[in-house]
Amino acid sequence: MPTAARRSSPVVAIDGPSGAGKSSVSRGVAKALGYRYLDTGAMYRAVTWWMLRHDVDIHDAAQVAAHAALPQIETGTNPANPTITVDGLDVSGPIRGRDVTAAVSPVAAVPAVRARLVEIQRQAIGNGDIVVEGRDIGSVVVPDAELKVYLTAAPEARAARRTAELSDPAIAADEVSLHTTLHTTKESLLHRDSIDSSRSTSPLTRAEGAVEVDSTDMSLNEVVEHVVALFRSRVSAGATS
Ligand code: DC
């Protein structure tokens, strides 16, 4: 895998397990800083959607790897309007569906998929001025990010938030119907976390130098303000001193 390119502007890397609030926090921080925003989880979901649509057996790593170069993924970086297309088709709704959520962890564990997406991610990151969320951003994609945050929360809090998200009418109806209880949601989160944390390529981990933020007892605004304050003290202050 090629190393990260030289940048002229900062990158904020936000990693952590499912349901810790990474998307809302990352978008909030990007808006507050006037930065772009990249949701790398959406890219793994988009590849998974393509694999399912093309009848690729997602539990056959060799088959997934053989198809890894085929989906054409385009992702927007506007935090007010994140977009994602596969082969020119808007998949922002379908990638949140139950079938994709259940299949994404095994697909994301395939090294050929990761290598391809990391390359696209580094192109999108370009010169910086961007908040990037995922599982391996601070450890692999941008190990020299100016601010790395490892965002976590107790499993119960993560399940409660994810359940509330699923009840949002904007989320695909089929996902709502299959994740009706907190218990089911929590089990599903923990199952994905265990696959994401135990895979051999780029497992979910707290990157070296990452600041751990436990959002269990914090509101979204409090977490956003906390991360922006970390940025101001560690990055903008460093740039002017
Ligand atoms: O953040 P999310 O739930 O949309 O992520 C979907 C899946 O993609 C999740 O199982 C972990 C995986 N993922 C990854 O392996 N590396 C990333 N940088 C982002 C997501």
Instruction: Answer whether CATH 3.40.50.300 is correct for domain 11-240.
Output: yes
How many whole angstroms separate alpha carbon 151 and alpha carbon 138? Answer: 12
Handedness of CA 156, 217, 82, 108 (dihedral sign): negative
Cβ pair 69, 109 in contact under 8 A: no
Which of 3-12, 107-116, 190-199 has the highest mean predicted lDDT (pLDDT)?
Answer: 107-116
Q: Is the CB of 45 under 6 A from ligand 1?
A: yes
Of 154 and 168, the structure prediction assigns the larger pLDDT to 154
- Give CA 241 to chain center in angstroms: 32
The per-residue DSSP string of 3-21 comes to PPPP-SS-EEEEE--TTSS
Give one DSSP letter per residue of 104-172, joined into a string.
Answer: HHHHHT-HHHHHHHHHHHHHHHTT--EEEEESSIIIII-TT-SEEEEEE--HHHHHHHHHHHHTSTTS-
Q: For 71-100, what is each residue's pLDDT tens digit?
A: 999 999 999 999 999 999 999 999 999 899
Among 109, 186, 153, smallest CA distance to 17 is for 153
CA 108 to ligand 1: nearest atom: 15
Averaged pLDDT score across all residues of the chain: 90
Give the residue, by CA position, lying nearest to ligand 1 atom 16. 135
Name which residue sits closest to atom 2 of ligand 1, judged by CA.
41
**Nearest-CA neighbor of 134 among 50, 72, 202?**
202
**Cα 137 to ligand 1 centroid, rounded to whole Å:** 11
Confidence category of residue 172, pLDDT binned at 50, 70, 90: very low
Average pLDDT over residues 149-156: 93
> 172 alpha carbon to ligand 1 midpoint, in Å?
18
Q: Is 148 touching ligand 1 by the criterion CB < 6 Å?
A: no
pLDDT at 171: 46
> What integer pLDDT is reported at residue 8 of this predicted model?
87
pLDDT of residue 237: 72
Q: What is the pLDDT of residues 2-52, one digit of tens each?
A: 555 578 899 999 999 988 999 999 999 999 999 999 999 999 999 999 999
pLDDT band at 124 (very low <50, low <70, confident <90, very high): very high
Backbone angles phi, psi at 199, to 5 degrees: -65, 155
CB 159 within 8 Å of CB 185: yes
Contacts of 55 (CB under 8 A, 6+ apart): none
Look at residue 182 and give its three-state secondary structure: helix
Mean per-residue pLDDT, 120-134: 97
Strands 73-75 and 84-86: antiparallel
CB count in 10 Å sphere of residue 41: 17
Say which residues have a Cβ less than 8 Å from residue 233's Cβ, sequence separation at least 6.
none
Query: What's the pLDDT tens digit per position in 209-237?
Result: 999 999 999 999 999 999 999 999 998 87
> Is the pLDDT score of 115 beyond 90?
yes
Q: Is the model's pLDDT at 178 over the cut of 50?
A: no
